[in-house]
Structure 1
Amino acid sequence: MYAMVEDGFTPMAVSRHLAGRFIFPTTVLKDPRQVPSMLLRFGRAIGRRAVAVAADDEAAVLLAEHAETLAEQFLLPAVPATLPRRLTSKEGLFHICSENDVPAPRSCAPADRAELVALGREWGYPLVLKNREAFTRLSAPVVSSTTVVNSEDELLARLESRRTPAVLAQEYIPDSVAEDWITHLYCDSQGVARVVFTGYKVRSWPPYSGATTRAWSRPNSQLAQLATGLCRRIGYRGIADLDWRFDRRDGRYKLVDFNPRIGAQFRLFETWNGTDVVRAMYLDLTGQPIPSSPQIYGRMFVLGQLDLPSAAASARREHRVPEALLPRRRTERAWLCRDDPLPALAEVVRFAGAGTLRLAQAAADVLTKRPAAHP
């Protein structure tokens, strides 16, 4: 396995399981035209064709749109070239859901600041904000991640002076009537879902709207059918990570994100013979059979350094002890691994450094009597 990393000290870069690493700074994505030649150079350094696994939305878009060129050095799923860009666009995904009769929260891409403010007054608060396109989060992010704003004042503070914010506004489904679920799957060149996994999201960071910090592997046949049916209708090929919000008010699972790539928690899901979505894709693209076996249920994924503050925030808001706090068997940890400890150590150092910078900024804001910047 080879990794393309932002720098040589990311947690992934120091794993003992790597045969090699290539530095791929995110600044390169500001001019994606140079990416194909860089990827081909990395591929030639490996010395044989390799299976390319996208780990973020931008990578998924670039691999699909340059698949014909990259085929010289990489094995890639036969996904339609324009589909990943539509799926990673929050506005594009909403249109796909509408076209294919898939439930989704009410959404709108406002043309300008005034329209967004008017939308908040019409729909009411809380309101969910998302960066509209995949590359926006790198070049001109309006929010750092999916963000819930609770008032017009908070909305205006987020927008600052932007007249045309590139965001999608989405209906907020109250936590009291909602459940968060995940579907991971791999579709082969014929569009057949060879492995399908379902799980339940317990917590996230930021709380109630961000990345998964704790999740269960749980059965949900209805959700599996919804995900595979959508992938079949749109002609999707490859690995996918879908996020759903179950709305108890109407009893429907509503699609909130379709990531055409591996999800950060993909190792939560595997079959009894050890197949996850990455192994399934590797076997398929290298012409090997994918063994049939059912999903293992009861496994848990934990992103420890963020799950603790998420649990604390949940306890403060809900006035009860959060669920699933104690260690248990069959837990998949995001970084900690007995036979490969360096990634966890690297993550501790980076996490501590980021926390120190935030505390220093907060102290400076207090000393200068400036309002603290939004995270």
Structure 2
Amino acid sequence: MNVDPSVPVLLVKIGHYPLHHGAVGVVRTLGRLGVAVHVIAEGRLTAAALSRYRAGQIVWPTTGAEPAEHLVRGLREIAASLPGRAVAVATDDEAAILLAEHAEVLSEHLLLPPVPPDLPRLLASKHDMFRLCRRHGIPVPESRLITSLDQIDEIAGELTFPVVLKNSEPWLRLAAPAVSRSTVVETPGELRELAATWPAAPYTLVQEYLPRSESTDWIAHVCCDAQGNAVVTFTGVKVRSWPPHVGVTTYAYSVANPELVSLTTRLCKETGYAGVADLDWRLDHRDGKYKLLDFNPRVGAQFRLFETDAGIDVIRAHYLTLTGQAVPPGVQVEGRRIIVENLDVPARVAYRHAVRAYQIPEGGGREFAWLAADDPLPGLATAVRSARPIARRVIARLSGRKPSSM
């Protein structure tokens, strides 16, 4: 691949999550091209900071509860210290929102996609995403937003249970979360009981539940240019996740899906989205529609699942686009698989009785989230950090007990 790697990259994160395989993937995929990737990290022993391919590490711990002015000032100082204007890559929604809303200040030192300033916040918000999808004719599960505890009884009477609860606003999920993660609630009584523990203004989304027995989880990753046109688009099937059925992808495979590509690229084009994005879809077999569950306006943790036969993934496409270089043409590699080793151990236990209802295309190869022969330290660090929590979760699942948080 003929790439000019002279422009550095800054990996931007807000919040505390030291084990993030997407960050490691960014460092590796660009570092292998000779690009200098500088990592913002909670500490010097985080997985991405330990990669042999990172050019520099900046220890800058944040929680997401800091004032935006503080975060912008700190990020601007970090970017100004780099050797040249750098391509910014956000690994969480909060970072993507910060970069978009303060692009005028930050673009002095960072190369940023020209996304409308308010769009990443709208897309990352579960409720605003729902309204955007309705406006543009994109199928989406029925949803209601709870902004006051007084709404509980009304909403419980409008939706069919079970339902899924999600923190609607990205910043509030760090500062004052109503639920720790996407949570399935079986009855109105369970919803009321859970709501009693919420803050006065929870901003919680109550979303229609699409039955697992009658649906299939799909993933779409896209990189768009300044006009909202897709440079590359990838699709695949999510097989396992952790926590089961509602969490991070632990095993998935790539397969071309023209209908899903069309829906994804149309939504990006019509909203004017620019940059990389990770979308979670669910095919509802009851009506045959793909319904958008989440739009993440940043790189997805499992992005290395996807690449073209020219060796292009969404991050390489993003780098080439922002630095004014041509993206080599190519088609998606079929049957490529990704395994998130530490999380797929408990996920395999949880899914051990699941009926396999998919056929993986042959010949696509396999990608591990952490293990790499040319970059062993991130995998070793993750194994050490994960060993005890994984053992606890596996034992809990086998014994039928509900596992504690990881």
Whether the aligned pair in 2 keeps the contact of 1:109 and 1:169 (CA below 8 Å) is yes
Whether the aligned pair in 1 keeps the contact of 2:393 and 2:404 (CA below 8 Å) is no
Match of residue 273 from structure 1: 310
Confirm or deny that 1:53 pairs with 2:85: no
Deviation by residue 1:40-85 (Cα, 9 ceiling, x = unmatched): 2111221201100011000000000111111111101000000000
- Structure 1 unaligned residues grouped into runs of 5+: 360-365
Match of residue 344 from structure 1: 379
Task: Tell me the distance in 2 between the aligned counterparts of 1:347 and 1:311.
Answer: 18
Give the TM-score taking structure 1 as reference length.
Answer: 0.90
The one-letter amino acid paired with 1:31 is P
Match of residue 137 from structure 1: 173
Match of residue 208 from structure 2: 171
Task: Tell me the distance in 1 between the aligned counterparts of 2:369 and 2:393.
Answer: 23
Shift, 1:105, TM fit: 0.1
Aligned length: 363
Confirm or deny that 1:111 pairs with 2:147: yes
Task: Tell me the distance in 2 between the aligned counterparts of 1:335 and 1:212.
Answer: 14
Q: How well do the aligned residues superpose, as a CA RMSD in angstroms?
A: 2.6
Task: Tell me the distance in 1 between the aligned counterparts of 2:145 and 2:101.
Answer: 24
SS at structure 2 position matched to 1:33: helix
Task: Tell me the distance in 1 between the aligned counterparts of 2:153 and 2:403.
Answer: 23
Confirm or deny that 1:219 pairs with 2:244: no
Match of residue 31 from structure 2: none
Match of residue 301 from structure 1: 338
Moved more, 128-137 or 345-354: 345-354
Deviation by residue 1:94-117 (Cα, 9 ceiling, x = unmatched): 010111111000000023224234
Task: Tell me the distance in 1 between the aligned counterparts of 2:150 and 2:334.
Answer: 48
Match of residue 297 from structure 2: 260
Task: Tell me the distance in 1 between the aligned counterparts of 2:195 and 2:60.
Answer: 30
Match of residue 47 from structure 2: 11
Task: Tell me the distance in 2 between the aligned counterparts of 1:11 and 1:258.
Answer: 26
Q: Which runs of 4+ in 1 moved over 6 A?
A: 321-325, 356-359, 371-375
SS at structure 1 position matched to 2:138: coil
SS at structure 2 position matched to 1:201: strand
Match of residue 286 from structure 1: 323
Whether the aligned pair in 1 keeps the contact of 2:167 and 2:179 (CA below 8 Å) is yes
Whether the aligned pair in 2 keeps the contact of 1:315 and 1:321 (CA below 8 Å) is no
Give the TM-score taking structure 2 as reference length.
Answer: 0.83
Query: Which residue of the other structure, out of 20, 27, 31, is the alignment partner of 2:67?
Result: 31
Whether the aligned pair in 2 keeps the contact of 1:187 and 1:195 (CA below 8 Å) is yes
Confirm or deny that 1:100 pairs with 2:136: yes
Residues 286 and 210 (structure 1), Cα distance of their counterparts in 2 relative to 1, 3 Å cut: same
Residues 345 and 324 (structure 1), Cα distance of their counterparts in 2 relative to 1, 3 Å cut: farther
The one-letter amino acid paired with 1:64 is A
The one-letter amino acid paired with 1:340 is D
Match of residue 76 from structure 1: 112
Task: Tell me the distance in 1 between the aligned counterparts of 2:151 and 2:405.
Answer: 22
Task: Tell me the distance in 1 between the aligned counterparts of 2:358 and 2:291.
Answer: 24
The one-letter amino acid paired with 2:66 is K
SS at structure 1 position matched to 2:63: helix
Deviation by residue 1:242-274 (Cα, 9 ceiling, x = unmatched): 111111111110011111110000011111111
Match of residue 370 from structure 2: 335
Residues 5 and 353 (structure 1), Cα distance of their counterparts in 2 relative to 1, 3 Å cut: farther
Identical counterparts, % of pairs: 46
Match of residue 398 from structure 2: none
Is the helix fraction higher in 1 or 2?
A: 1
- Structure 2 unaligned residues grouped into runs of 5+: 1-36, 395-400
Whether the aligned pair in 1 keeps the contact of 2:336 and 2:367 (CA below 8 Å) is yes
Task: Tell me the distance in 1 between the aligned counterparts of 2:305 and 2:299.
Answer: 12
Query: Which residue of the other structure, out of 211, 218, 235, is the alignment partner of 1:198?
Result: 235
Deviation by residue 1:114-159 (Cα, 9 ceiling, x = unmatched): 4234423442321101001011121011112211122345434533
SS at structure 2 position matched to 1:273: coil
Shift, 1:169, TM fit: 0.4
